[in-house]
Structure 1
Amino acid sequence: MQATPVNPHSSPLVRVALLAYTFLIVYASWYPFSDWHTIGLSPLAYFSEALPRYWTFFDVSINVLGYIPFGILLMLACYPWLPRRWAALLCMLAGSLVSGTMEAVQTYLPSRVPSILDFITNCSGLFIGILMGCVLTPWLLQKDLLRQIRVRWFVPSMSNGLIIVALWPLAQIYPQGYMFGLGQLVPVLSNWLNIYLGIPIDLGSFIRQGAQLSIEQYWLSETIITCCGLIGAVLLFLCLLQPKAPKARLVTLLIFICLGVKSLALALLFKPEHAYSWFSPGAQAGLLVGCLMLYGLAFTPARVQRHLAIFMLTISLLVINFVPGNPYFTDTLSTWVQGKFLNFNGAAQFLAILWPWLAIWFLLHYQPAKSTNPA
């Protein structure tokens, strides 16, 4: 690779995305963060072990694919400060150190097993990502395309909000009883009270006073949850867009990415025939009503969109934490072979619970900036 002049400008969005992705790697690698203890082995002992005899293509591919975005983000973050060849070398060393540390710390976690194969596959994905980053950096940074897109399409100081929007499709990975039913905290609190405090209580039943729903009421609940969750997430995204941005295309792309991630996750976690099990009558109605409402709300001022996003996400949170669990979903969940994604279940569930609360917190503190787009 030939050295190129250093570009003094770097994207704050890339740095924020790198920080968020590093956090997800740490969370996925060290989950469940419990029962820490030493077994008398060096944390680097896994380097001297032989390759495991039994492994699956699925596990190897996940490790490789998981580190490709990490390599790309590292390269995009480092390249503006160093020539490309030195940036690539620094990224490889830093990424390998991160991967090695993730494996080494697993020595002290009884539920995790450090593996030289995991380290090799992680570094392979990192290397692929760095090579892709070497190709992308001149195109994105030297030609200043990232800045041009940011100025033309997005309002100033939108980085944190855009990260939250980008996490919305990822929050759909963990199976939910209702479409876009994120933030279901009551069952988790009940489980914690039972395990850690020895209090056998079902907070959901206590809140509902034992009330049960008919199948029509389940569909209505899912319609409300789907509609409000969709509108809240999309309005958050619209708050970050300039008036002249291609809003319809960007919103459509975001929704299709979200539904695609949901379908792919269901196909991998359960069976391929479950890929579109989310397309229930309640979800269909919620998507239709939500899209029709968004058609009109897309033209409202950013301040109104922000308040409506908070309102819709709050309604979704109230309903999802009040209604009982979906019996169809509970039956489907019993077929989930969790071992395939054991390393990622905790991170996925954490994100699914946290996302709407994080979005509301952002919206409460976010003040829409005036457009900087030239007329």
Structure 2
Amino acid sequence: MPAPPDSPTAAPAAAPPGASTGSAFARVSLLVYALLIVYASWYPFSGWRDLGIKPFDYLWARLPYYWTGFDVWTNVAGYAPLGLLLVLAMHPHIRPWWAVLPATLAGVLLSACMEAGQTYLPTRVPSNLDLLTNAVGVTLGALLGAACSRTFLHESRFLLARQRWFPAEASRGLAVAGLWPLALIYPQNHLFGLGNLVPPLSGFFSDLLDTPIDLATTWLNNAQLSAEQYWLADVIVTACGLTGAALLVLQLLRRQAPRRRLVALYLLACIAAKSLACALFFAPQNAFVWISPSAVGGIMLGTMMIAGLSWAPPTAQRRVAGLALFLSLVVTNAVPANPYYLSTLETWVQGKFLNFDGAAQFLSVIWPFLALWVLYRKQS
């Protein structure tokens, strides 16, 4: 009799000859990344107008007079992951090297439509140079995907580790967990305090009603907290956000996986990504600007909670993870913005990173809801 799937002696069953071994993780990641491209390309989604210009007229226009090497490499780097994911997502229906051409065409078509849509946005300018560099990026990504297909799609150590440590249905959760470090890049009122709905809702209602609306002022009635209250809120949000993310990853791992080491490595990678973002978007000397007494206190409290809950049954872990993420959402949206956070936003570099700024803010708002959805799906 075969061993149960989650028993330490169980080995992943080999797929029968001819069976589909497509990567659900690649397909989920492709969908998420395509949505991020749409959001980044059309951010801020306001002020749409028709100037009497056809949407694809930019294709025949002269190349822009002003451009920088940074703009070129940003466009290439932004579309390279799309090409890679397209090739991996087409397996096994299309062999990797045969998938390079359709993946490139699909990426170029998406880029052309994104540029065409910018014709109707007052803050964006469609550019044939952007389309060209995006095409280069998606082509390089598709070639890289084909070259790496054996590593990620066939009998490789990476694939065997994926099958040994994660169940087949963990793809959605892995995609959401992979977005957490990216969601942390955008400056937050609290460390790990994602899901702040007040700023985007204020902008939405301002555009809808054509009048400035600040929900933070209306909702919170200009409330100001003491330094001790801000400190306590920061500790709560940091601890709950850290605990919710770590328990989400624990939910995805099999019992025979090195669960605690993988979660520790995941959290260290997220903190490294946060530090790198601070160095890139502010200044190198500000790589660890996010470290504060309250953030350290929250990390210590969250680490103790994770260490204790790592021994708890999966059902208890799932419930605590959902409760922690919900509590973090409530406090994040109920507490007025910290004056230090407002001064941080003023130094956030948006100019060259305007597209990325919109996508990063979008991720920071939506991530807790995606995590709660994954936890709910796992329960049902």
If the length of structure 1 is used for normalisation, what is the TM-score? 0.89
> Which residue type is aligned with residue 320 of structure 2?
L
Among 246, 264, 267, the residue aligned to 1:255: 267
1:222 aligns with 2:220: no
> Which residue type is aligned with residue 92 of structure 1?
T
d(CA) in 2 for partners of 1:144, 1:8: 17
d(CA) in 1 for partners of 2:19, 2:377: 33
Q: What is residue 239 of structure 1 aligned with on the other side?
A: 251
Is the CA contact 1:11–1:146 (under 8 Å) kept in the aligned structure 2? no
Among 160, 165, 179, the residue aligned to 1:153: 165
Among 342, 345, 353, the residue aligned to 1:341: 353
Describe the shift of the 1:238–1:330 C-alpha distance in structure 2 as closer, same or farther (beyond 3 A): same
Q: What is residue 9 of structure 2 aligned with on the other side?
A: none
Using the TM superposition, name which of 155-164 and 274-283 deviates more: 155-164
Corresponding residue SS for 1:282: helix
> Which residue type is aligned with residue 349 of structure 1?
Q
Q: What is residue 372 of structure 1 aligned with on the other side?
A: none
1:288 aligns with 2:300: yes
Q: What is residue 129 of structure 2 aligned with on the other side?
A: 117
d(CA) in 2 for partners of 1:79, 1:252: 32
Describe the shift of the 1:210–1:19 C-alpha distance in structure 2 as closer, same or farther (beyond 3 A): closer
The Cα shift of 1:209 comes to 5.5
d(CA) in 1 for partners of 2:171, 2:78: 22
Using the TM superposition, name which of 358-367 and 314-323 deviates more: 358-367
Question: 1:342-357 residue pairs with structure 2 within 5 A?
Answer: 342-357=354-369
Among 55, 77, 81, the residue aligned to 1:43: 55
Is the CA contact 2:151–2:158 (under 8 Å) kept in the aligned structure 1? no
The Cα shift of 1:206 comes to 5.6
Is the CA contact 2:58–2:127 (under 8 Å) kept in the aligned structure 1? yes
The Cα shift of 1:231 comes to 0.2
d(CA) in 1 for partners of 2:118, 2:209: 27
Describe the shift of the 1:209–1:83 C-alpha distance in structure 2 as closer, same or farther (beyond 3 A): closer
Percent identity between the aligned chains? 51
Q: What is residue 177 of structure 2 aligned with on the other side?
A: 165
Q: What is residue 276 of structure 1 aligned with on the other side?
A: 288
1:128 aligns with 2:140: yes
The Cα shift of 1:95 comes to 1.6
Q: What is residue 373 of structure 1 aligned with on the other side?
A: none
d(CA) in 2 for partners of 1:121, 1:150: 34
Question: 1:71-90 residue pairs with structure 2 within 5 A?
Answer: 71-90=83-102
> Which residue type is aligned with residue 307 of structure 1?
R
- Deviation by residue 1:327-362 (Cα, 9 ceiling, x = unmatched): 112112212332222123222212211111222233
> Which residue type is aligned with residue 331 of structure 1?
S
The Cα shift of 1:274 comes to 2.4
> Which residue type is aligned with residue 82 of structure 1?
I
Question: 1:62-101 residue pairs with structure 2 within 5 A?
Answer: 62-101=74-113
1:103 aligns with 2:118: no
Q: What is residue 313 of structure 1 aligned with on the other side?
A: 325
> Which residue type is aligned with residue 291 of structure 1?
T
Is the CA contact 1:7–1:80 (under 8 Å) kept in the aligned structure 2? no
d(CA) in 2 for partners of 1:26, 1:111: 15
Q: CA RMSD in A?
A: 2.4
The Cα shift of 1:213 comes to 2.1
Corresponding residue SS for 1:53: coil
d(CA) in 2 for partners of 1:235, 1:332: 30
Q: What is residue 371 of structure 1 aligned with on the other side?
A: none
Q: What is residue 326 of structure 1 aligned with on the other side?
A: 338
> Which residue type is aligned with residue 175 of structure 1?
P
> Which residue type is aligned with residue 113 of structure 1?
V
> Which residue type is aligned with residue 155 of structure 2?
K
The Cα shift of 1:186 comes to 2.9
Is the CA contact 2:88–2:96 (under 8 Å) kept in the aligned structure 1? no
Corresponding residue SS for 1:157: helix
Is the CA contact 1:6–1:83 (under 8 Å) kept in the aligned structure 2? no
Q: What is residue 52 of structure 1 aligned with on the other side?
A: 64
Is the CA contact 1:230–1:287 (under 8 Å) kept in the aligned structure 2? yes
d(CA) in 1 for partners of 2:116, 2:224: 49
Q: What is residue 137 of structure 1 aligned with on the other side?
A: 149
> Which residue type is aligned with residue 68 of structure 1?
A
- Deviation by residue 1:13-72 (Cα, 9 ceiling, x = unmatched): 111111111111111112222333333333222222232222223322221111121111
Describe the shift of the 1:335–1:142 C-alpha distance in structure 2 as closer, same or farther (beyond 3 A): closer
The Cα shift of 1:168 comes to 1.0
d(CA) in 2 for partners of 1:62, 1:171: 19
The Cα shift of 1:228 comes to 0.5
Describe the shift of the 1:45–1:314 C-alpha distance in structure 2 as closer, same or farther (beyond 3 A): same
Among 180, 194, 207, the residue aligned to 1:182: 194
Q: What is residue 359 of structure 1 aligned with on the other side?
A: 371
The Cα shift of 1:236 comes to 0.9
Describe the shift of the 1:102–1:314 C-alpha distance in structure 2 as closer, same or farther (beyond 3 A): same
> Which residue type is aligned with residue 123 of structure 2?
S
The Cα shift of 1:183 comes to 0.9
d(CA) in 1 for partners of 2:65, 2:240: 49
